[in-house]
Structure 1
Amino acid sequence: MSNKNEQAIAAMNNGELEKAVTLLYEAVEENPKDPIAYTNIGNLLAQAGEVKQAVAYFEKAIDLDETQGTAYYGAGNAFFELEQYKDAADMYQNAIQQGLDQSDVHFMIGQCFVMQDALRLALPFFQRAVELNEGDTEARFQYALCLAQEGAVEEALPQFERVVEEDPEHADAWFNLGVSYAYQEDITKAMNCFDKALAIQPDHLLAGNGKKQMEQAMNNNN
């Protein structure tokens, strides 16, 4: 990595974006075949909200060096923001093939499939994200959600339990844990989970509805 690339990254981290831009454009002028400089410009543009422009720089970096995993990942993020989920998933897959086999990348591929209503395809990517990073609570929640929506409630339940253990303020996880208990006809535990979701988020309509259904079930059992 050239010195100007390193200086630019330091400037980006310090919030000195104009300085970073100047340094990166200088790096490109000095070495027009430096894929890292193009990748960094792409990241900077994406950070500044210039997402379409960012894609062009990521693609230039990839043209110069097809092994640039971080350029594929940056392009994936840009396409995701542009709601081009198929293109995003392709870029993330390329990033993995170039050695960026990380939890975040698998998580984002899962999200691409979720956005395309293809939960069955999303499931293994969320599972892999959790395997690569046991502490990624949001990946675990999405994995549990996919399991539940695909009908594997028994497998989903312990995952939701772990999510609320790690993040006790996760209202949606409490709600879905309640639904999982309701499927197992454990009304008391389901009610408790819906109450916890509502304590965190009083306007959680689904949890409110779930609680009403559990109250009706309890009345019917009496």
Structure 2
Amino acid sequence: MEIERLLSNAKDALQQGRDEQAYSLLGQALTLDSRNAEAYYLLSYIAHKYKNFLKEVELLKSCIQLNGTNQYYVVYLCRALTLVGEKTQAISFLDQLDLDSIKELELIDVIASCYNQLSLYRHACHWFEKLVALDGSQASNWFNLGVCYKYFGEFEKSKQAFERAIALSPDYYKAYAALVSLGSRYNQGVSVTFLQDLFTSASDADNKLYLAHAIAKKMEESGDYKASMEALRSGKKQKHALFKASIDSNIAILKHIAGAPAQTVAKKTGKPRHIFVAGMPRTGTTLVERILSSAADVATGGELYDFVSAVKKVTGNSGPDFLSTATTRALTQSQYRQVGLLYREAVAYLYRDADVLIDKLPLNVLYTPQILSSLNDAVVICLDRHPLDTIVGNFKQLFSFDDSANGYSLSLLDTATYYVNFKRIIDRFKSHYGDRFYIVNYENLVNNPAEEAEKLFDFCAIPWDPCYLQVEKNAQPVATASSVQVRSKINTNSVGRWRHYEECLTEVKAVLAKAGVYG
């Protein structure tokens, strides 16, 4: 039949990367048969490839209307819905699947990734375990499983999974960074010399970044802090050059936010339903999340991008960047209502039986005016830490660079400039939105945890219990850079760590002094 020939040729074209030809062939197929589910499915593949996820959702829903029993259609629709922020719908479709009957490796991988994106890490861990049990030959699957184990504090299992990834693929460089990040107890089998040899032979900017962080961590563990800092500077240069224009653009947006007129927001009334724990990364946001979520009526969704996604939908901004002039400007009251409705719907499944939900994406703080205008029952908790500990901590952190939001961390001086503007923003927010914007000083918190935490709970109108300080007993998963540290009791070990690197911070201090924020 002609339609079968068209579909077969379209598949061949897709395999060979001839997407335009495939698109044309599939259009011809649908002209002959407008109810051909396979044609819609292949078109959804093209939509996904070009990151047109809304179109992918539309096409896959057409597939399901025509053939609702096809597991491929349903699983890939779950992925697409997750990517566009329709998480409640994604979970609804996942619940409709007979998950135990799914044996295809491709689908298991997608399901595991969906649960991971949905912050349902226990489910994700189960599916990654199922994936490696059926096929343990892929390094990426072992790596993803190791990351999940790390979230739950199962560091020995995490170590073994990362080692399996490396054994399967010795050039899977991000597995070395992940393994070394577990700490000296788990990374003794990895030598600095070996990592340096890998770094010398690596050419890709991402691989150099992974290896540089692994080398720097090992140097830090040995007490050679100057060499640790130099390893990071060397390893970040190539990536920094690629991101420099975006970094400058983001800093310009911060300056715009700092100078924008204050918005009129409702006063705080009673116990909030939404608590945004935010601030610059590496300032104690995870610690505060752990303390708050120890209360029985407080749930946490981890680091959620749902608020920014809602703003993008309402403003018609489809760009990949976390920050833009379009998304950080003031909206109309109608738009704020739409943003609030979209956000509430997206995160509703995370409450479970709780009354309060924590959203802990650090840089959400830059959207404070929009958050408080869209959600009358929200508050923002902002962490503030010593400027040099903040700057060094961010420079030392291996972030994801799927967008440019954390690009500043590729350079010490850019991080310092970013911090200066960030500090101006939070000081301004505190003066304008004080009864719904609460600043927690990290040093005060770890030195006087009972006093500071009780004040925080009072601000959130949540009953206080001293047992909430036993964060090491909190069984919630931690999908952040602090997943290792927060498994310990509250301590002051991280206070003043910048002093180890002081001889490398002369220019940074000058930037801060000129801005009047230090020295």
TM-score by length of 1: 0.76
Superposed CA deviations along residues 184-208 of structure 1, whole A, max 9, x for unmatched, are 5x7x535x16962784355456434
- The aligned counterpart of 1:211 is 218
- The aligned counterpart of 2:12 is 10
* Equivalent residue letter for 2:9: Q
Structure 1 137/33 Cα, relative in aligned 2: closer, same or farther at 3 Å?
A: same
| Alignment counterpart, residue 69 of structure 2, candidates 67, 70, 90 | 67
Structure 1 208/39 Cα, relative in aligned 2: closer, same or farther at 3 Å?
A: same
**Cα RMSD after superposing both structures:** 3.3
1:124 equivalent in alignment to 2:126 = yes
Tell me the SS of whatever aligns to 2:171.
Answer: coil
Q: Are the aligned partners of 1:110 and 1:121 in contact in 2 as well (CA < 8 Å)? A: yes
More strand as a share of residues: 2
Shift of 1:169: 2.3
| Alignment counterpart, residue 144 of structure 1, candidates 143, 146, 159 | 146
Shift of 1:77: 3.9
Tell me the SS of whatever aligns to 1:135.
Answer: coil
Q: Are the aligned partners of 2:76 and 2:110 in contact in 1 as well (CA < 8 Å)? A: no
Seq. identity, %: 16
| Alignment counterpart, residue 78 of structure 1, candidates 74, 77, 80 | 80
Name the count of aligned residue pairs: 214
Tell me the SS of whatever aligns to 1:183.
Answer: coil
Unaligned ranges ≥5, structure 2: 200-206, 225-519
> How many Å separate the matches in 1 of 2:14 and 2:214?
42
Shift of 1:98: 10
- The aligned counterpart of 1:134 is 136
Structure 1 91/176 Cα, relative in aligned 2: closer, same or farther at 3 Å?
A: same
Structure 1 115/12 Cα, relative in aligned 2: closer, same or farther at 3 Å?
A: closer
Q: Are the aligned partners of 2:149 and 2:155 in contact in 1 as well (CA < 8 Å)? A: yes
> How many Å separate the matches in 1 of 2:182 and 2:11?
46
1:115 equivalent in alignment to 2:113 = no
Structure 1 8/182 Cα, relative in aligned 2: closer, same or farther at 3 Å?
A: same
TM-score by length of 2: 0.36
1:173 equivalent in alignment to 2:172 = no
> How many Å separate the matches in 1 of 2:4 and 2:106?
27
Superposed CA deviations along residues 11-59 of structure 1, whole A, max 9, x for unmatched, are 3233333332232222223223321122122223333443322221211
* Equivalent residue letter for 1:66: G
- The aligned counterpart of 1:46 is 48
More helix as a share of residues: 1
44-53 or 140-149, which deviates more: 44-53
Superposed CA deviations along residues 63-97 of structure 1, whole A, max 9, x for unmatched, are 01112223224323433443545545655676765
Structure 1 117/206 Cα, relative in aligned 2: closer, same or farther at 3 Å?
A: farther
Higher RCO (CA < 8 A, seq sep 6+): 2
> How many Å separate the matches in 2 of 1:108 and 1:36?
19
Q: Are the aligned partners of 1:43 and 1:74 in contact in 2 as well (CA < 8 Å)? A: no
- The aligned counterpart of 1:196 is 195
Q: Which of structures 1 and 2 has the bigger CA Rg?
A: 2
> How many Å separate the matches in 1 of 2:194 and 2:95?
41
Tell me the SS of whatever aligns to 2:222.
Answer: helix
Structure 1 24/102 Cα, relative in aligned 2: closer, same or farther at 3 Å?
A: same
